[in-house]
């Protein structure tokens, strides 16, 4: 076929805005399945390139199979140009087309995916059988329906908080990105089943605390997993206050609601896909994650999203990298290298994200946590059932890589009152690394502990708490392996 002619015709109907500005968008009432798409059409400027995936026309593009919304004229062009298109459904209702495309012929989510009720029930079984390894606590409830949002602590002594490095894994800030919940649930299963039988898992639970939040956006996740609407991204807030919920595209984007440069991220359009709400932490789901961060100081964390096979990390701000960029990039590069892409050709990419409103800049900028977003899989948010186990397995490999970094190298500082020996929350500051783009880091109140991953070398350290004498150490030597332990006793001022 003639590629230049094909592109001219195809792009003519595929790209929004190709008609006169006054023209209305085409009404696509056909759901097409196209299988066996040539690789050339999936890459670069191909007719069905992956970089065109946006769900307004290409509902899913997994490997070389696509689900496309089209008009009759667009179907005719596709057929003329050699694409074998099967009409799966014709409907004037877009929701029905999306449900057929993403749920399948039964219009129900495949059982390979779990509802929130199933996730919490399975977690309850694991806790009942292994109470010493896992405990649950509520961190909040949802904005619209007041459903509980649970976190789980896993260690070899889970009934109490221990002075160890703590790591966090969460899923489903975005309701339709359900792979996150499946990965976190699979991690839960692996940790509990492997303790005492798997040397690596046993070491993790003996030396770390691992926190899991399988579903942050519980209301939205329920909308998707119940079969109601696979497009749902935001929470279920009744934004227009008409008393009717579950009408697309209402809700607030939970991953645009954090208070780090909040106004720079998301949108103030209530029907937009990235609507950030009326103010930072307006949504109960965000407040739940803040509550969790208030309870425990995390060293590393991953928030799971879909899609793109890329890891985003903090950050590029103007032309500046994050203060810990060298360490962050080293860790993220290692994690990405352990997650093979769906096509088997290489591993996940990495990219610095922006410094605004999402979970990873907030966790890093406000709390000093090296947090990353992992966009799992490629070409869909709801993947065909056969793809799910592979995506999970690869991301568990990435988790293993991340956990290996919780052993250092880095600086572990314990701050106490010189008179009482009680732990203190105090600023633990590296002024030659940190700058005003990030909040100063502090030791936690429970243990007086502050841990920071660093490269080996000498560091200028300042420890400050109001009412106490400041400690300045110009040359703290951090070892190349493990945690360099440092005890700081602050003397109260008279």
- In order of their start, the domains of the chain are 3-103 (3.30.70), 116-406 (3.40.630.10), 410-490 (2.60.40.1120)
Residue 452 CA neighbour count, 13 Å, CB half? 27
Residue 6 is predicted with a pLDDT of 29
Which helix (H) or strand (E) segment is 393 a member of?
A: helix 388-404
Residues pairing with 303 in the sheet: 170, 373
What's the CA gap between 488 and 39, in Å, rounded? 60
- The pTM of the full predicted model, rounded to 2 decimals, is 0.94
Residue 23 is predicted with a pLDDT of 56
pLDDT-flagged residues of the chain (< 70): 1-24
What's the CA gap between 254 and 400, in Å, rounded? 27
Residue 5 is predicted with a pLDDT of 28
**Residues near 92 by Cβ (< 8 Å), separated by ≥ 6?**
27, 29
Residue 339 is predicted with a pLDDT of 98
The DSSP bridge pattern shows strands 310-313 and 370-375 to be: antiparallel
Residue 403 is predicted with a pLDDT of 98
Tell me which residue of 86, 254, 249 sits closest to 170, measured CA to CA. Answer: 254
């Amino acid at each position: 076929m003639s590629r230049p002619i094909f592109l001219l015709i195809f792009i003519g109907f595929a790209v929004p805005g190709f008609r006169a500005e006054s023209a209305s968008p085409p009404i696509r009432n056909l759901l097409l399945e196209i299988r066996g798409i040539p690789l050339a059409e999936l890459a670069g400027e191909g007719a069905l390139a992956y970089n065109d995936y946006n769900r307004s026309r290409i509902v899913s593009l997994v490997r070389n199979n696509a689900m496309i919304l089209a008009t009759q004229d667009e179907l005719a062009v596709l057929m003329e140009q050699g694409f074998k298109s099967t009409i799966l459904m014709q409907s004037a209702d877009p929701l029905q087309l999306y449900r057929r495309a993403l749920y399948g012929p039964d219009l129900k989510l495949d059982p390979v995916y779990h509802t929130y009720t199933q996730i919490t029930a399975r977690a309850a079984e694991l806790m009942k059988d292994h109470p010493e390894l896992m405990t649950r606590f509520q961190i909040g409830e949802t904005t619209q329906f007041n459903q509980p949002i649970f976190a789980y602590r896993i260690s070899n002594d889970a009934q109490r908080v221990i002075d160890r490095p703590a790591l966090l894994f969460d899923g489903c800030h975005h309701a339709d990105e359900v792979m996150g919940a499946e990965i976190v649930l699979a991690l839960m299963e692996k940790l509990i089943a492997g303790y005492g039988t798997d040397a690596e898992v046993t070491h993790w639970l003996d030396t770390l605390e691992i926190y899991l939040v399988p579903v942050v956006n519980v209301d939205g996740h329920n909308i998707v997993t119940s079969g109601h609407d696979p497009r749902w991204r935001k929470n279920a807030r009744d934004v227009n206050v008409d008393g009717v919920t579950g009408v697309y595209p209402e809700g607030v984007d939970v991953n645009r609601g954090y208070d780090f440069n909040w106004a720079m991220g998301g949108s103030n359009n209530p029907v937009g896909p990235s609507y950030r709400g009326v103010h930072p932490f307006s949504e109960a789901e965000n407040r739940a994650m803040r509550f969790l961060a208030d309870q425990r100081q995390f060293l590393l964390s991953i928030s799971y999203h879909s899609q793109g096979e890329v890891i985003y990390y903090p950050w590029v701000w103007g032309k500046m990298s994050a203060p810990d960029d060298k360490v962050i990039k080293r860790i993220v590069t290692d994690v990405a290298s352990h997650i093979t892409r769906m096509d088997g050709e290489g591993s996940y990419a990495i990219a610095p994200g922006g410094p605004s409103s999402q979970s990873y800049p907030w966790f890093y900028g406000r709390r000093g946590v090296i947090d990353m977003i992992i966009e799992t899989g490629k070409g869909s948010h709801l993947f065909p059932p056969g793809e799910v186990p592979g995506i999970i397995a690869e991301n568990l490999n990435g988790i293993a890589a991340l956990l290996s970094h919780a052993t250092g190298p880095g600086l572990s500082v314990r701050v106490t009152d010189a008179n009482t020996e009680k732990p203190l929350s105090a600023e633990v500051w590296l002024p030659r690394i940190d700058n005003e783009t990030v909040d100063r880091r502090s030791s936690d109140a429970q243990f007086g502990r502050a841990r920071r991953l660093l490269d080996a070398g000498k560091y200028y350290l300042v420890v400050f708490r109001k009412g106490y004498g400041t400690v300045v150490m110009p040359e703290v030597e951090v070892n190349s392996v493990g945690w360099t332990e440092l005890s700081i006793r602050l003397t109260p001022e008279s």
